Amino acid sequence: MQKTIFLTYDDGPNEPYTSELLKVLADNDVKATFFVCGKNIEKFPQSIKHEVEQGHAIGIHTYTHSKFKVLLGMLADEIQNTSRLIEQHAGMRTTLYRSPWGVTAPWLKAKLKKMELRTFHWDIAAYDWWQPSADYIATSVVKQAFPGAIILLHDGNQILGGNRQNTIEASKILIPELKKQGYQFLTLDHYSGKKVS
């Protein structure tokens, strides 16, 4: 029986890193889920189009990536605006959502349910937003891997300037290693485990 694992990238799109990452994924015949921010879709509309054309899944990661708006109950417009931008530039409607920083609140859970969005957190974080070495990121992910795990990485620019070269290089290492261990990469629209809500 095939072991599945879910590779996700947050905060994009962010060029040139998103395009470089798409090449890595294509070279390895792997699909991922991109949780995108609306303001970055406006900067790089072609990037999200390319993600969808290449068979990757898209999820909403709000418009500005503000955890404070979650806590203050001001996020509904950000979610709707980003959903609209995804439809406009990618030609599809998503049902996937990830909150900035994983922050949630009772009002948000109710709103997401009403919007028919499934919320996904993560199981494995390699803290690539701190820009550690590619080897550190890859080793951290591979060591923590288990069947059904959701991996959190970043192609976006929300934290520490957004240089994602080490994440791209790490992806070149960790994807073949996990494949060698028998993992199959799926997108979160194929997730059949207990959803996080």
Predicted local distance difference test score (pLDDT) of residue 109: 84
φ, ψ at 107 (rounded to 5°):
-60, -35
Between the alpha carbon of residue 74 and those of residues 31, 62, 71, 107, 177, the distances in Å are 32, 11, 8, 10, 41
Among 188, 181, 97, 176, which residue's Cα sits nearest to residue 148? 188
Predicted local distance difference test score (pLDDT) of residue 6: 98
Predicted local distance difference test score (pLDDT) of residue 175: 99
Token readout for 53 is 């054309």
One pLDDT digit (tens) per residue for the chain, 197 residues? 579 999 999 999 999 999 999 999 999 999 999 999 999 999 999 999 999 999 999 999 988 877 665 555 678 888 999 999 999 999 999 999 998 888 877 878 888 999 999 999 999 998 988 888 999 999 999 999 999 999 999 998 765 557 899 999 999 999 999 999 999 999 999 998 754 44
| CATH 3.40.50.150 assigned to 3-190 | no
Predicted local distance difference test score (pLDDT) of residue 161: 58
Domain map of the chain by residue range? Answer: 3-190
Predicted local distance difference test score (pLDDT) of residue 58: 98
> Residue type at 111?
K
Annotation marks residue 27 as catalytic: no
Task: Name the DSSP letter for residue 195.
Answer: P
Task: Name the DSSP letter for residue 91.
Answer: S
Annotation marks residue 10 as catalytic: yes
Q: Which residue in 56, 61, 154, 155 is the catalytic one?
A: 154
Predicted local distance difference test score (pLDDT) of residue 180: 98
Task: Name the DSSP letter for residue 33.
Answer: E
Predicted local distance difference test score (pLDDT) of residue 64: 85
> What pTM does this model have?
0.92
Predicted local distance difference test score (pLDDT) of residue 195: 47
